[in-house]
Structure 1
């Protein structure tokens, strides 16, 4: 009997019932009719045919429901196959981004929110493995040329920075390797050596952690550890924290502009009273490397619109292999060690 019913169901769903569209309204009408028939005193419908008809209806409902369920499952599964890229700060946690490395050459064509831009500038450590280049930093009192190389792989830090101040005739070289830091003062023919306690494995820092309150309710800024190499550009934590904390004071002028062949986001805004006094400026403009948060260019302006402070990157390369020989402590023999007591 079961086999015969199965054959009948298959035959009906592939022939007479094949083109029937059994929507919710029709289901309600059929169920209402069946109920009315049960209440009727005259049961003129043959018992055997009632069973067959009911089975046919159940079969259609079953296959319709299964088809809808299958499509819904595919939609849900399909949404999981598309990983969500970094979203606003609400979806970012420290554990989610710990030791995260993002290819700097990725096609990050989507627009970033203000929180995402700020987050990347506070956590540039997580977005590249190596960097090398040069930039010029200038303020009303001095001009510095910075040449740098940094490698951060597998939790190990190695770095080189050469700072040239032509006005003061000073050249200083800083080398970081094997948890040690050496600074060479070329004009004085002296050098310093010390340990460096920076951990690259501490993970990213959230906006809530950066902008907190002390026990008295006063605003404080918690800093993330970062290498002391080209920090104004590669690790612009202070600039980001001080300039961009108040979202109402700045805006995104351009989501994607080209600078030295790299995609950058252009930001402009007003400086608060404290920053205005400190930098002798009232407004600023930043060119931020889109995929890493690195500061490529910066300008602050006087009330008259003149540039007061600036940082201009001249050479820039990310994630290109740098040999270990570039970070060796080659201290000249005639250099004397500076002892700190």
Structure 2
């Protein structure tokens, strides 16, 4: 009998407040089970105030409802992972080396902010990887509301890496040296545009199938259908956040660290079409990717009996290859395991 697909819920309040050792152990064990079997988790007890997420949602509306020509003023070159990305200028499938004819076809618009050189004075970080943010002058409340949510999402991500250390039996503070100047990026997405701006083609791709690139992703999203997760049954399953929950999924770097004990789960967005238009959906993914110079190699406790492991790679090398695919149309040739899972799902 096949077990129905379900995204587990984990309460992390013991890590946010002053939980007992037993409460923390229970939360870590529950997350470990979810990470091994699904790779997506509904996290509650995260402590993000509703006032922050309400203001953040209003800020998304303030920016994305601006005229397209205004938004395009904040477009940056593909190699700069900041600012505005118009519809059909990216293809997430290429981050896996997959996409028909290398076509940039994902139907979503986005705005990115992230960690900048100025956030880490004295470290002499490369500006190409830590570019300064751009902020839309036409959206008066955008910067303050987005910055407040960015701080909260970062706190949740760091709380989770503390939990990860306990779940994996690692020394206290293990992940801190890999994340003290982390390449954190907040990507805000919008899936609906005004009539006439785009021609809706046949098989509409909201966001192509992909794995996330880094350590962990904290996802805020509307309770609207669209997000689909690839299950172990080879099928795509609809997922949306539960009331008050943040969706958490693991990235490729965590899969490398754990030798796929924890899953970097493939997902995509297929926005519903209602009366010839895309039903509106907003989401915001906070990517906690680790330090640009950190070397990621399989944890000794996660080596299999034959010693098989991923080859060591720096965070920078890995992220650049992924972004060259999704944003610049250069297919990633170093994602064989993930691409094979996509192809198997397409045949299922």
Structure with greater proportional strand content: 1
Tell me which of the two structures has the higher relative contact order, counting C-alpha pairs closer than 8 angstroms and 6 or more residues apart: 2
Greater C-alpha Rg? 1
The two structures have a TM-score, normalised by structure 1, of: 0.20
The two structures have a TM-score, normalised by structure 2, of: 0.19
